[in-house]
A and B are shown apart, each in its own frame.
Chain A
């Protein structure tokens, strides 16, 4: 996982020429999707990108700082709640609501971070899980504001993005920008420090790095991106309910991240596509999606903890030999 650090003169915004070309081709190919697929499928593709962003934000912490968060579904959902509330109840414009949602998620993430940076390993997992459950409990019980179990409905999407393909393109543009930003973030000196903390916290501390501060900033930045995903999801769904902030949401995005490969960043989109495709196939046969999700989780943990791509690569290389 070492990245070349020597400055390369033929770089475009930090990318090598080849990487920039690949990125451009992927975005162009993705932009053609609405031209060939049905509205329903375009909706699914939009969802894949939104959850891909969320899974990437989890990967910033899990893959690069060695801290797996089970509270990101809640951070994501806070943004969704705020966006829906501020358009439907408070009467803000979609753009203002979007900003407010992302800010709220970032604020919640920074509170989570303050408490969680002192812990690591399983304790980090437990603490973020418990914090996420608090958010869920509040959304469920604070009926006057959140609508309780029934949730809230609101026309969040701006008028110009009402059609499926227009919204798809907007999300695609957003996903491209956000992916680039996250990629730059994990490759920055700051990102390298996070990686150092992942590999050896004590070494980084003795080198004079302020480990808690780095983790705090890393968590908050990760929460910011989760907030972007949450705000997009509000516009996608025009609806929010406690299930958006529930543990299942956090678990699903962690599963997407793991399925795509921890520390691969862009693998998140593949994991997201795999899980959402699975969910749709399963849901057309049975209502037992949660059961299948649980089984998938167990199977991946036992057989492919390195992710689907890593597993396939391992199988292929075995066959070649």
Chain B
């Protein structure tokens, strides 16, 4: 694998990390497997595309995407999921229904063509990395992934909110019993997780492009990341993203037609030995 391909794998891993960290935040704390996460990613991408092309600002596109997708997340959590609280299976299937709805809605609004979010002037072109010419934008994605990781790590480990989220992951009832409004923590986490999907949509939309089945693809990759990394572990998601990102690139280079196998084969083997993932803990 050449350096170019290695960087491709790393930048894809960075994107996966942004999307999957939102997924695992919600999964870890709320115990909700949000299968609409892929659709949120797609919406983030489309909305980011629309805002960015209308205003000509990539940053505004990112803000718009995150805000709009967080708003969708708000409706999903407060409008629908509240009716099925506490029942994991019904929650999952409900989010699946929402995923179908959103996917079709996106088809109605933006049509079936594929779009690419316009990259700002500053990030166009390429730079030399260790003697290889590489697109600046993809390096930007890599940096963003690292920044998001650092920000989430700081949030979870060095703020009061983070402490409450971690406590909620371990024992939500106990947190509530000590006088904390856990419902609000849940909601904030859900919005944060959704916003990360929106951000991922914009970032991915600029180099993977957006098309009607992109949501299912990113969802499956996110699932693989979470299954490998383990539920609710930030480091696990980081390692999982790296593995999936690199394996995916390796697979595309070596067996383009069976690339899926290269990711899911190791995932299956891992599951056979560690059903909770590399960093997952039994609850």
Contact = CB atoms under 8 A, between A and B. Distances in A.
A288 interface: yes
A125 B33 contact: yes
A310 interface: no
Please indicate which of the listed interface residues B83, B96, B267 has the most CB atoms of chain A within 10 Å of its own CB: B96
Contact of B271 (A118, A247, A251): A118
Interface residues of B, number: 42
Contacts of A288: 104, 108
Interface string B232-267: 000000000000000000000000111111001001
A134 B261 contact: yes
B124 interface: no
A291 B104 contact: yes
A254 B93 contact: yes
B98 A298 contact: yes
Interface stretch (A14-22, A83-91, A94-102, A135-143): A135-143
A294 interface: yes
A142 B105 CA distance: 29
Nearest to A254: B93
A143 B224 contact: no
A298 B97 CA distance: 5
A190 interface: no
B103 interface: yes
A118 B223 CA distance: 17
Q: Which 7 A-B pairs have the closest CB atoms?
A: A297-B97, A294-B100, A294-B101, A137-B260, A291-B104, A298-B97, A290-B104
A301 B220 contact: no
Contacts of B33: 122, 125-126
Interface of B: 31, 33, 35, 80, 83-84, 87-90, 92-94, 96-105, 108, 216, 220, 223-224, 226-227, 256-261, 264, 267-268, 271-272, 275
Contacts of A127: 227, 271
Contact of A296 (B97, B99, B275): B97
Contact of A119 (B93, B102, B275): B275
Interface majority SS (helix, strand, loop, mixed), chain B: helix
A133 B31 CA distance: 23
A298 B80 contact: yes
Interface string A217-257: 00000000000000000000000000000011001001000
Contact of A297 (B93, B224, B260, B271): B93
Contact of A302 (B80, B223, B256, B259): B80
B88 A121 contact: yes
B224 A298 contact: no
A161 interface: no
A138 B97 contact: no
Contacts of B223: 126, 129-130
Contacts of B257: 141-144
Contact of B224 (A130, A248, A290, A293): A130
Contacts of A301: 84, 90, 93-94, 97
Interface string A124-162: 011101110110011001111000000000000000000
A279 B102 CA distance: 18
Contacts of B80: 298, 302
Interface string A104-116: 0000000000110
